[in-house]
Structure 1
Amino acid sequence: MFCYVCQEDIAAIFGKADKGETGTLNKKEFKSVVKDICQRYPHVELYLKKKKLRNIANLLKSANGDNTELSIETFKQALSEVDTQMKNLPATAQVASQQGKYLAKCFNKMEKCENKPEGPLRFRGEGRHRFQPFRYRHFGSFAPLGREQTAAELPGDWVSIGHSSQWLWYSVYASKLVSWRTRSLVVSDWVRRFIFGRDSSSI
């Protein structure tokens, strides 16, 4: 659900920043649209963090060397590099849940945002987009290994394998169940299995 930077937008961004209509951007002109770029395209900001670049100016420096003026071709090259490095979001419940909450929020605010848009600036045309773009937050993932052991990968490159990760998975799984009735049934099933083992009588 990432919104990639299309070529038309790149040209519009460049034109908006090139106030002197010189065909090139200096550092000051470019910085005037940096915030709007990151707001409209969240994956640009994610890319900068991944590459440990402090801001988008560092990205352009890596593409443009020590030149102080930036041409539209170099500008396109830098932003296109960001697009090629981005991958689609994984098809997991965590992603679907966040996307569902995002869409529900948009639907609930549709009438309000029709009159007062709260999204980023439109690079092509006037005004703002109706909503803020979707931003995915990764809270980690679990992989059951069997024999009451689980591998856990959490934000910050923290990885854990073993029985403690299995109990962490139990707590996270139970917290995501919709109703208290479902939680009690699932937890009681886990307790019975832990005490008496798996019921294999019907196999």
Structure 2
Amino acid sequence: MLLTQNEQKEIDLIDTRIEELEKRILGNHQSTENIIPITDSLINTNALINASLVGREAVSMFMRRLAELDKLLDPAVEDKAVDLSAKMEEVLVMEPLLQQNAKALYQIQKLASVLDSEAIKNVPSLTDRLEKLTLFYLDRKQEADATTANTMDLLQQYNTIIVNITKSFVQFEDTVTRLEIAALPRKEAD
């Protein structure tokens, strides 16, 4: 097979680039007796792989289909393979989510001026003050919780006292009623 002049120039350019790469990797060795050029090594490796695949049809078939697999895994192929109606259906299914995202984006754009305000920008500098206020609040909350618990205990004691007083009054009422009945003059029986 004869190569055109442009194809030969391209091959020579690639060969030159490979040799430059070899020099960068291996360094500038004056003696090249033990160095095998990368292109020769690649050709030998390819020949060994092809020789090892002889008689193994499943692996050979897989190797032949690698190019096809690469094409199918390419994201650009999916865009071409999916027809317009399927794309339209997908957009229609996602319409509520897209509208929700659009509304959220609109709200963020409206509030962007607030997010860029000096008050928001000063938040990191106010962190120490916020921590002090938080500790102060926690101390006051603990005091309030203790006061609430003490008040609940006092209310329980008050309720117990009121219940006991109420029972005593009921007992006194019964006793007074019995004594009043006993003190009433009795009618003599004829």
The structure whose residues are more often helix, as a share, is: 2
TM-score by length of 2: 0.20
TM-score by length of 1: 0.19
The structure whose residues are more often strand, as a share, is: 1
Larger Rg: 2
